Structure 1
Amino acid sequence: MPDFKINTTDEIDAAYNTLQATFRAGTTRPLAWRKHQLNQLVLMLRENIESIVQGFSVDLRKPPAEVLTGEIGPVVRRAIQSAAQLDAWASDESPQVREWQRTWSPTILKRPKGVVLVISPWNYPIFLSLQPVIGAISAGCPAVLKPSEIGPGVSSVLADLFPKYLDPSAYRIINGGVPETTHLLKLKWDHITYTGNGTVARIVARAAAEHLTPLTLELGGKSPVIIDANTTDLKIAAKRVLWGKTLNAGQICVAPDYALILRSAQDAFVEAIKEAAVELRLDGALASDSYSSIISDGHYMRLRSLMTKSLGNVVVGGSTDDAKRRITPTVYRDVKEGDSLLEGEIFGPLLPIVPVDDIRQAIEYINAHPHPLVLYAFTEDAELKQALRDETKSGGLHFNDVVQHMSIDTLPFSGVGESGYGSQALKYTYDEYTQLRSSVDIPLASSVDRDEPRLSARYPPYTPATTQVMAVRAGAIEAPAAAL
């Protein structure tokens, strides 16, 4: 396992200058070069699975199955798909124009924005770090990746592997904490992608505003799950929701944060939760190799504090292991507005159940709070599904399961409002880092004799006749009947 080495400000500046020079030299622009880097990224992951899994073990004690399926697999798959589709993505486009403008060769050019800064989190440090890097490579943008210092195991592995597989003149890892990130944010980037929480996102956005740098923000928030007991199978719903809380010990931005259910159906749902907990063997979670630990002492104590302060009634779980920083997935019933579990994003294996009097109250509750990254609903009621589509806002809308929308490569992953903005995954990430540059090539009168006469009406002095011609072409007035 390589050591976690913090980069100095001189090293940061040197890396920044190198990447800027690389971009100006045009090194990253050939599609063949980009495809090679994407293929190298695939090799980097596939040839170093053992060391990557070990890094996760150091940081999170994360099960290898979750590393392979939720981290390495999606990145490998999307890098391969990006290389295969890059020719189509990067092709110039010819938009439809009015007939008399066709000789101008109007074209939409796909050009890389420039050097990108990616600030990634600790909870999914391969997937959430390398997905934007895939987009940067595909778009022809050099990139600096700043992984989280809270996960030094995986961050150190990435720092060791990057220069062995990717062109170091174009792709660099910068490791460090707040001082190093602060220094990075003082530099002028062509695009910044930040994944994390809203508090830090505001700091990033203010720094980006100093240079008018465009941003992609992937944030979290409290993602609700509505349980429509009248039309759904409560046993399946309970098992799927509880599974969503076991993934990475609930440390995932799209985890179901709290459940809303009719007060009259809460008892039945709680019984279904208890059955699911037995099936998933949650009673042995503290010692099981199938469950992750909390990332740090600080995060662990934060969750313990939420558990202590909550006035909800524990129906499943509640056990903790301070030495291993582990918490059994814990479910609370009868949680009321103002409870500690409803104050902010939980980001851990705790699930409060909030009873409501009717579904309309559930929708109003969701709308009264910041827009979530994803809204879940277990229902077969077509009217309720349509109401959620029409009357709520969220980054994503997911029916009858949790988290699985992340496995669909062709859907945009994005937030709205407090949960972020900008989109990622395959072409959506490519588009974030690509400038759509407009181009026209208007023939001179000497080469096409009809263009200059057609444009002559625009030149002063204006007459009633030329004004009418220009107004018709602009769409301000209709063409006179005689001209039809």
Structure 2
Amino acid sequence: MSTILEYTPLATIEQYHADLQRTFKSNKCRPESYRRTQLLQLAYMIQENEARMIDAFYKDLGRPKEEVTFIETHIMIGACVYAIKNLRKWMKTEYAPMDMVTGILTPRITKDPKGVGLIIGPFNYPIYCTVSPLMGAIAAGCPCVIKMSEIVPNISALFEELVAKYLDNDAYRVVNGGVQETTKLLELKWDQIFFTGSGRVGKIVATAAAQHLTPVSLELGGKSPVIVDSTANIDVAARKILWGKTVNGGQTCVAPDYVLVSEDCADRLVEAFKKTYAKFYPEGAGKSASFGRIVDHRSFDRLKDIMDRSKAELLCGGESDRDTKFIAPSIYVNVSKEDALMESELFGPILPIVTVKNVQEAVEYVRQGPSPLVIYVFTTDGKTKEYIRTWTRSGGLMVNDVIIQAASDPVPFGGTGDSGYGAHHGRAAFDTFTHHRTMMEAPRIAELFMALRYPPYTAKNYVRLRLFAKVNIPWAKPGSKLSLLQRLWIKIFGAGVIVMLAAAVAQRLK
């Protein structure tokens, strides 16, 4: 039974914003020990309440407990542990390499928290897509407000309760509500906004942020394609693709959206999907405890309309029930580019299969559309992998598997172009909420050189300054025919300049 979500009053939202601004200015969140404590509390918050989260996910999304633990809770506990282990390294000041002009100023980069953040989470992965950027904000020393999705009331109410219990309320607050509450949040000035959701809402968020010159990270989606060629293990590919399409009822931003298969292996792939479907759901998907439901009736109606308008051939599935928000995993073949299934991101358990002549045609098909969040490739041919990597554009590229790339902490996860910008996961999440602040410090000896810059300008000082600041390009100009001997003389001259400069400094210091 779904709970009635209590929305956060608009006046309270303003108060949260003011409170967190005060907390940030107090430097309370800056110490490494504070950040470690909050990250540890976040990890225990998830671990100690996993059973309650499983129950809330089932009520809101019909999610099997295996999906909740595998894709939401365990991954985020691991992300917190990873952040704690690496926090000191991330926070450490970085010193720039030595150079002749500014090396004496010891340039370095300090890792300062940006300020107060706003995280707007989605309904489909409300723990994973919220905790990952929250972990980054905590690690960076930033207080923040987390806006949960009103479409999953049980999960959102539980998250608000647990954050208030486990985390420092001076720095971390949860806001629940709909359009009005989100609009209120976007009217306020934040120092970093992290949004996960649709491109349509992402544009609204980015527009609102621009009014305050607030940096934004957008995690969007798009039609992420799967390219399959004849060298792939077809049976394994079908199994992985169907799992990736049906996990969380297909409501996954990195779900395989459609398949582009070479004609020389299309029939084999179709047969493999039939066999896999029968193994996954022997009693039918409607009776299976391993398949979730669509989040609400609005989303159900959108998907049902797409299916009704499609002119493609239904291979498997097709059943639906509006009362229970059930749409069976549905695979379509003989899908044309103009079909309703190909209009936009499906975001449901519907899988179109498009047959192409070869990988080159598949790549051209992808290139003609917006940049997806990820491209999946099933092949064992190294040249094919490199060809697809070189000639396509996407947030990520996954070879011979699906979705699991979103679980890796050591590498950034994010989109490009229409699929968003910015990134999270591990160090990338920390960097999102961190200002990399350049710091230099001029020692007294630096004035021996810097004095050359002051008026009145003289020819003598100009020659010295030019000697000090001039950079010799160590490579020949493209198209020129400098000999090896000439290039060697250029390098010798450059070395001579350095020696002369060092001698001049030594003379002044005597």
After superposition, the C-alpha distances for 1:47-91 in whole angstroms (9 at most, x for unaligned) are 111211111111101001111110001111111111121111101
Deviation at 1:244, TM superposition (A): 0.7
The correspondence of residues 241-390 of structure 1 with structure 2, limited to 5 A, is 241-281=241-281, 283-390=283-390
After superposition, the C-alpha distances for 1:67-126 in whole angstroms (9 at most, x for unaligned) are 111000111111111112111110111111225744433221110000000001000000
The correspondence of residues 155-234 of structure 1 with structure 2, limited to 5 A, is 155-229=156-230, 231-234=231-234
- For 2:375 and 2:220, how far apart are their aligned partners in 1? 14
Q: One-letter code of the match for 1:338?
A: E
* Number of equivalent positions: 478
Q: Which moved more, 1:354-363 or 1:462-471?
A: 462-471
**Alignment CA distance shift 1:282-1:255 (3 Å):** farther
- For 1:4 and 1:153, how far apart are their aligned partners in 2? 7
Show the counterpart of 2:479: none
Checking the alignment, whether the CA contact within 8 Å between 2:3 and 2:153 is kept in structure 1 is no
Q: Which moved more, 1:3-12 or 1:62-71?
A: 3-12
- For 2:437 and 2:52, how far apart are their aligned partners in 1? 42
Deviation at 1:475, TM superposition (A): 2.7
After superposition, the C-alpha distances for 1:130-163 in whole angstroms (9 at most, x for unaligned) are 1110000000000100011111110010011111
After superposition, the C-alpha distances for 1:195-224 in whole angstroms (9 at most, x for unaligned) are 011100000010011111101110000000
After superposition, the C-alpha distances for 1:177-204 in whole angstroms (9 at most, x for unaligned) are 0111011001000000000111000000
Show the counterpart of 1:437: 437
Pair 1:76-2:69 in alignment: no
Q: One-letter code of the match for 1:483?
A: M
- For 2:377 and 2:215, how far apart are their aligned partners in 1? 33
- For 2:400 and 2:110, how far apart are their aligned partners in 1? 41
Checking the alignment, whether the CA contact within 8 Å between 2:229 and 2:358 is kept in structure 1 is no
Q: One-letter code of the match for 1:391?
A: W
- For 2:349 and 2:208, how far apart are their aligned partners in 1? 33
Show the counterpart of 1:56: 57
Deviation at 1:3, TM superposition (A): 4.7
Show the counterpart of 1:392: 392
Q: One-letter code of the match for 2:111?
A: K
Q: One-letter code of the match for 1:441?
A: E
- For 1:23 and 1:158, how far apart are their aligned partners in 2? 23
Show the counterpart of 1:447: none
Checking the alignment, whether the CA contact within 8 Å between 1:139 and 1:434 is kept in structure 2 is yes
Checking the alignment, whether the CA contact within 8 Å between 1:93 and 1:109 is kept in structure 2 is yes
After superposition, the C-alpha distances for 1:327-384 in whole angstroms (9 at most, x for unaligned) are 1111000100111110000000000001112221111010000000000011111111
Deviation at 1:483, TM superposition (A): 3.5
Partner SS state of residue 137, structure 2: helix
**Alignment CA distance shift 1:359-1:99 (3 Å):** closer
Show the counterpart of 1:124: 125
After superposition, the C-alpha distances for 1:422-475 in whole angstroms (9 at most, x for unaligned) are 11101110001100111112123xxxxx32222111111112222222223333
**Alignment CA distance shift 1:77-1:369 (3 Å):** same
Pair 1:239-2:239 in alignment: yes
Partner SS state of residue 153, structure 1: helix
Q: One-letter code of the match for 1:163?
A: A
- For 2:468 and 2:146, how far apart are their aligned partners in 1? 50
Checking the alignment, whether the CA contact within 8 Å between 1:282 and 1:329 is kept in structure 2 is no
Q: Which moved more, 1:86-95 or 1:115-124?
A: 86-95
Show the counterpart of 1:140: 141
Q: Which moved more, 1:319-328 or 1:192-201?
A: 319-328
Larger Rg: 2
Please give the root-mean-square deviation of Cα atoms over the aligned residues, in Å.
1.6
Partner SS state of residue 438, structure 1: strand
- For 2:197 and 2:34, how far apart are their aligned partners in 1? 31
Q: Which moved more, 1:410-419 or 1:353-362?
A: 353-362
Partner SS state of residue 94, structure 2: coil
**Alignment CA distance shift 1:437-1:282 (3 Å):** farther
- For 2:468 and 2:187, how far apart are their aligned partners in 1? 48
Partner SS state of residue 22, structure 2: helix
**Alignment CA distance shift 1:162-1:3 (3 Å):** farther
Checking the alignment, whether the CA contact within 8 Å between 1:282 and 1:317 is kept in structure 2 is no
Checking the alignment, whether the CA contact within 8 Å between 2:101 and 2:468 is kept in structure 1 is no
- For 2:446 and 2:157, how far apart are their aligned partners in 1? 61
Checking the alignment, whether the CA contact within 8 Å between 2:408 and 2:425 is kept in structure 1 is no
Checking the alignment, whether the CA contact within 8 Å between 1:283 and 1:317 is kept in structure 2 is no
Show the counterpart of 1:483: 500
Pair 1:460-2:477 in alignment: no
Q: One-letter code of the match for 2:70?
A: T
- For 1:345 and 1:316, how far apart are their aligned partners in 2? 20
- For 1:476 and 1:404, how far apart are their aligned partners in 2? 47
**Alignment CA distance shift 1:282-1:360 (3 Å):** farther
Checking the alignment, whether the CA contact within 8 Å between 2:96 and 2:106 is kept in structure 1 is no
Pair 1:37-2:38 in alignment: yes
Deviation at 1:283, TM superposition (A): 4.9
- For 2:285 and 2:450, how far apart are their aligned partners in 1? 76
